[in-house]
Structure 1
């Protein structure tokens, strides 16, 4: 799978220290120029459905589980690999200095009807919800949040916006 980009957060001066390794799988689900994303009120951003893969899961099983949990989607079919982003950033837990995150993106198809999402407590508390949105609107929104350096801005917005822009340039006809 192609590497899209390697990101090193500015608050990460070097890559030494106690590092937590995490693999995540994220879904690209399109309907014309609309894309199925997660809007998170706490961070005021759009991100891809998906997330961390459990120790006993492969990437595709984790992807299907996460998409179903976060969006209520059924019949998740992975059609293509899109690419991955490697990133290093500070870790919020005191037992680690850094997180090394590998986010793998896959193009998927789903059944048209979304069922009920099974969000975790922290996702509910953050105000996360699945939305169909025009990809260019999502990019514009995320870029504005980045430009304004909103206090609520999360670590993932830069990564997700890079991938959204690449999708817009490669997959939107």
Structure 2
């Protein structure tokens, strides 16, 4: 799969002599007629792709489908294709590691436009996450406004906005 971008957080000056925790994740990209299925998170005031971390040995495609179903209740997931990899190096604030290396495997897919009731986990419900079909350009503009003006923004909004802009280029 093609590497789309590698981002180094401004606080990560070097990887030399650092203990690095690697986390693998999948992201789902479902687009219909210039709208994209995203998760809006009230807590962070941002739009993000459905997805989540991989457990050790878990199949990437199966995980992508499971998270997409849990978070959005997407039905009839098909025509899954690799889109690319987005890598991030960020400070890690839990004991034992200095840096988190996040590798997100992104896949496009087709789904039914109608969604059912989601099965969010506790923190997703607490953060008021909701699945929504939205015009991709509106989502990009919203995230950019959040990045510029909100002190609530989440740590992954740069990744999400980059991926949305890349997808919008493909649509245009």
Give the TM-score taking structure 1 as reference length.
0.94
Paired residue secondary structure (1:164): helix
Alignment of 1:64-143 (within 5 A): 64-143=65-144
CA pair 78-55 structure 1, distance change in 2 beyond 3 A: farther
Distance in structure 2 (CA, Å) of the matches to 1:22 and 1:59:
13
Distance in structure 2 (CA, Å) of the matches to 1:8 and 1:15:
10
Distance in structure 2 (CA, Å) of the matches to 1:30 and 1:89:
29
Task: Please tell me whether the aligned partners of residues 78 and 106 of structure 1 are also in contact (alpha carbons under 8 angstroms).
Answer: no
Give me the CA root mean square deviation.
Answer: 1.3
Deviates more, 1:48-57 or 1:64-73: 48-57
Unaligned runs of at least 5 residues, structure 1:
none
Alignment of 1:1-173 (within 5 A): 1-16=1-16, 17-148=18-149, 150-170=150-170, 172-173=171-172
Q: Which runs of 4+ in 1 moved over 2 A?
A: none
Distance in structure 1 (CA, Å) of the matches to 2:35 and 2:164:
11
